[in-house]
Amino acid sequence: MSQAARPFRSVLYLPASNARALEKARSLPTDAIIFDLEDAVAAEEKDSARWLLSSALAAGGYGKRTLIARINGLDTPWGQADAEVARDMKADAILLPKVSSAKDVDALAAIIGKRPIWAMMETPTGILNVVEIAAHPQIQCLVMGTNDLASELKSRHRPDREPMLASLQHCLLAARAHGVLAIDGVYNAFKDEEGLLVECKQGRDMGFDGKTLIHPAQLAPANEAFAPSEEEIDLARRQISAYEAAKAAGKAVAVVDGKIVENLHIVTARQALDKLDAIAALATE
């Protein structure tokens, strides 16, 4: 499946040191998996986690889910070895944490060659430089690291995420300007389904493609929030059919439910139907 045809509603982190989680993820309804070698893995397990992950990916069994390996930063004791091993892993992309500038992406590319790169946006410098980062030819996706960012900004976690909004929107602008994916940050209270759903809907309404998650219990709310709803699909089909009828009658616009429908609305309507197809395709092995 091409990246354009893939859904990214749910992007689940799992510690690459956790053999049980590596196995469990093969059957979880997640659109993508980030296998973490960075913050979720203790220093004494960094080397073994790298090899555990390589073996799990070589063994396969993750279906059509998009698979991403998050390495340690190249300025850490583990980053270089992670990158060298990740270069040969059966992953779709390599995720670099705490990216500050396009030069950081170049440094990783010098080790891994032309492989796709995802970038964590989680430092003030990175957020300020996000335009050049998103423009890098190997960048496929920006992932918001809202925990690290809140810590560096000295801001508080609030249900409305007001302290985070400027950074989220700035990264989203850069992602859309350069045609790359944008995935929202994690919701730490993994037993609070209601709070997660509210935050998923906020991220969806802003324009994010999906949400990063930390626990299997978070998959259903994210999959629901970031999928087109039945009402959206019904409206999309009616808009397309009304617009085609209008065009056949020599008109440039149609009216559906008392609202004008122009070509740009048809683009959005087709995107909703394409997303539905991509979700259905993921479920078929």
Query: Applying CB under 5 A, which residues contact Mg ion?
Result: 122, 145, 148
Q: Shortest gap between Cβ of 163 and Mg ion (angstroms)?
A: 17
For residue 216, the partner it binds in Mg ion, ligand LIB3CWND, none, with Cβ less than 5 to 8 A by kind, is: ligand LIB3CWND
- From the list 9-17, 71-79, 197-205, 258-266, the region that binds ligand LIB3CWND by CB under 6 A is 9-17
Contact, 177 vs 131, CB < 8 A?
yes
Query: Which long-range contacts link 114-118 to residues 24+ away (Cβ below 8 Å)?
Result: 114/138, 115/87, 116/92, 116/140, 117/93, 118/68, 118/93, 118/94, 118/142, 118/143
For residue 146, the partner it binds in Mg ion, ligand LIB3CWND, none, with Cβ less than 5 to 8 A by kind, is: ligand LIB3CWND
Q: Shortest gap between Cβ of 14 and ligand LIB3CWND (angstroms)?
A: 4
Residues in the chain: 285
Applying CB under 6 A, among 11, 32, 40, 57 the residue interacting with ligand LIB3CWND is 40
- Give the binding-site size for ligand LIB3CWND (rule: CB under 6 A): 23
Q: Tell me if 76 contacts ligand LIB3CWND by CB under 6 A.
A: no
Residue type, 238: R
Cα separation, 267 vs 239, in Å, equals 10
Among all chains, which residue has been given the structure tokens 């060298």? 84
Applying CB under 6 A, among 39, 152, 192, 224 the residue interacting with ligand LIB3CWND is 39
**Exposed, middle or buried, 33 (CB in 10 Å: 0-12/13-18/19+)?**
buried
Residue of 141, 109, 93, 205 whose CA lies nearest to 130:
141
Among all chains, which residue has been given the structure tokens 């335009």? 131
Q: Tell me if 216 contacts ligand LIB3CWND by CB under 6 A.
A: yes
Cα separation, 119 vs 122, in Å, equals 9
Task: Write the interaction track for ligand LIB3CWND spanning residues 114-153; mark x where CB under 6 A is met and - where it is not.
Answer: ------x-x----------------------xxxx-----
- Between residue 168 and residue 207, which ones bind ligand LIB3CWND under the rule CB under 6 A? 185-186, 190
Q: Tell me if 93 contacts ligand LIB3CWND by CB under 6 A.
A: no
**Distances in Å between the alpha carbon of 194 and those of 186, 189, 198, 217, 226?**
14, 10, 6, 12, 15
Applying CB under 6 A, among 11, 12, 96, 200 the residue interacting with ligand LIB3CWND is 12
CA-angle at 156, arms to 153 and 162, nearest 5°: 90
Q: Shortest gap between Cβ of 16 and ligand LIB3CWND (angstroms)?
A: 9
Cα separation, 29 vs 60, in Å, equals 16
Give the interface with ligand LIB3CWND as residue ranges (CB under 6 A): 12-15, 20-21, 24-25, 36, 39-40, 120, 122, 145-148, 185-186, 190, 214-216
